[in-house]
Structure 1
Amino acid sequence: MIASPSVAEPRVDGSPDAWPGAAWADEVRRLARRRGAVILAHNYQLPAIQDIADHTGDSLALSRIAAESDASTIVFCGVHFMAETAKILSPHKTVLIPDARAGCSLADSITADQLREWKAEYPDAVVVSYVNTTAAVKAETDICCTSSNAVEVVASIPADREVLFLPDQFLGAHVRRVLGRENMHVWAGECHVHAGINGATLTAKAEANPDAELFVHPECGCATSALYLAGTGAVPADRVKILSTGGMLDAARASQASSVLVATEIGMLHQLRKAAPEIDFRAVNDRASCRYMKMITPEKLLRALREGRDEVHVDPELAARGRAAVQRMIEIGQPGGGE
C-alpha cells in the first residue's frame, strides 16, 4: 500500500470545466511513477482527466497501447467494459478503474445468457460483437468489431452466412445499410446517450448552421437522419461524415470548415478543440453527457493510485476466448479504433 501523501486531497465540483489544480496533477504523476502505472483516458472523460492521462483515445486503441506499454499497472479512466478489455489484452498486468460502478447502458443491453439463447436460434450464424460489450459476451463472440471497422468485419464474412450483430441497433443498421446485407440480424440495444441525439435535433441544428459540417457517430439515433439530409441535398453530402471518435479527430485535422456540429457524447469536444482550435465545434445535443463516464473524477483517480482500487479481474478462460475474438478482428487488417 502506498502511503497517503501530505498534499491535501483536491476538491472539484465535477463540472466539465473544473480543473483541480497543479498540486493534484503533480501528485497524480508522482503516484503513477511509484506504481509503474500508465494512465489511460477515454475521449468522453472530464477534461481534467483527459489532460492528465498518458494517452487519451477510444477504448480499443487505449487497450492496445496499454498492452504494448512497459507499465505494470494500467489505470483505465473509462467505463467498466473498457477496463475489462484492457485486462483481456494484458492478462498479466494490474488493471485499475477509479470507480468500478462506472457501467455502460450499451454493454448492459445484452448478457451472455441472452446471447447464448440468440445463438441457439441461429446455430450456423457468425456472431459479431461491438467492443462495447462485457468480457462474458466477448467470450461468446466469433469476431469483434469497432465503429470504424464494423463494415469491413461484416463484409469479411461469406455472403451466405447469417450474421448476428450486437448490441448496438444503430451501428448495426448503418452496417446493414452500407452492405445491403439481408441475412444480418441486429440486436435491439443502444447507448442511452447516443440514442438521445435524435434526428429532429440534428435537423434543427443543421438548418440553423447551414455552413457547418456534421460529424455523426454511428451509434447515434440521428445517423439515418444525417444521411437523409445528405441524400436530399439539405446538407451537401461532402459535409456529412459518419465517424468513430478516432475518425472524428482525423477528420477535424483535415477539415477546412469553420464550424462543425458534433453528434456524440459531449466529452469528445475537448479533444476536437485541441486537435483543431481554429474550428468552432458545437454539440448537436448539449445534454448528451454520459453520467457513467463522468463518475471518474479527479478525486477518484487519486484514490485509485493511492490505494490500488478498484482492481479489475476477468476469468482467465473468458479472457482467452474474448482475446481470440479481438485478434480475429485485428487479422482482417482494419483494426480501427474502439468506438
Structure 2
Amino acid sequence: MQPPSRRTFLTLGLLLTAGTALTACTDGHGTDSAPAGDQRRPDPDEPVRLRAVAATDTLLAGYDALLPQAPQLQPLRAEVAQHRAALQPTTTSPATPPGTAAPTTLAELAALERRTAQSRLADLGAASPQLARLLASVSAAGVLHTLALGDPAPSAAPAPTPSATTGEPATAFQDALGAEHAAIYGYGVVGARLTDDQQRTDARTTLAAHQSRRDAWQRLLTGTGATPTAAAPGYQLPFPVTDAPTATRLAAHLETRLTTVYADLVAAVPAPHRPLAADALRECALRAHHWGATPAPFPGFTTPSATPSATPTP
C-alpha cells in the first residue's frame, strides 16, 4: 500500500450519518407516554416482535443453563437481555419460545446464538424499516457472541446480488458508496503505518473487501441510470495516524462508523435489499472487533451525545 499524498485526508463526516438513539428506533416501545385509559393503536410489527422475543427467550434459557458452571457468560447474557427489552412489543401477551433442548456446552450455545442471529435476518422483510434496522443490529451482535463463545468462523446466509433501485433508496446507496470511498482511502493510511506482516496482510484483505463492496454499489447505481458518487479529492483524518497502534485504532474506527452507515441503510432501502445491507453491517462489526473495537450490544446504533458533529473539509 502506498502512503497517502499530502493533499488527501480521511473525513469523519463521510463515515457518519445522523446518529439515532436506540430508543428512537424501536418505535417508542417501552414508554408510557399515552394517558391512562387511551387505546393504543395496533402494532403492525407485533408478530415479528413476538417471534424475536420468543427466540431471545430460548437464548436466555440457554445462557441460564450454563451460567452455574460458566459465570463468565454473564456479560453476554446481559446483552441478550438488552436485546429482549428492545424487541419487546407493547402487547402483554407472552411470547412462547420454541421447544429447544438447553445447550450443555459452550459450542452448543454458540450454535444457538448463530441460529438465533439467522432468525433475525429471516424477518427483515416483514418488519418496519426501524425494526428491520434493530433486527440487523441484534443479529450482528449475535454473531459477535458466537466469536466470544469460541466459534472461530461465524457465518451468515449469503447476501443476495444487488439489483437496481431508484428514488430515495438510490440516495441511500450513494451515501453508502461515499462511505466506502472514505474507508478505502483510510485503509491506505492504515497499511502504510502497520509494521506487523500479519496485520498488513489483514489490512490488504480488508481493503479488497471494501473495494468489492464499493464496486457492488457502483454497479447497482449505474443500473438505475444514476451517476455513482465519486471519491472526494480530500478527506480529513479523525485523529493523527503516526504509528501501528494509531493505525489499528483508525481501522477499528472506520469499521465501527461503517456499522452505523449500514444500519441506517437497512432502514432506508426496500425489503429485498435489506439482507444486503445487513450483511455489510455484520461484516463491518466483525472487522471492528478484529481491529480491537469494544463490542457493542447494538452495533450500528449511536446516541446523539456520542455522535460528534462533522465539518466538511474546506
TM range (shorter): under 0.3
Q: Which of the pair is proportionally richer in helix?
A: 2
Query: Whose RCO is larger (CA < 8 A, sep 6+)?
Result: 2
Q: Which of the pair is proportionally richer in strand?
A: 1
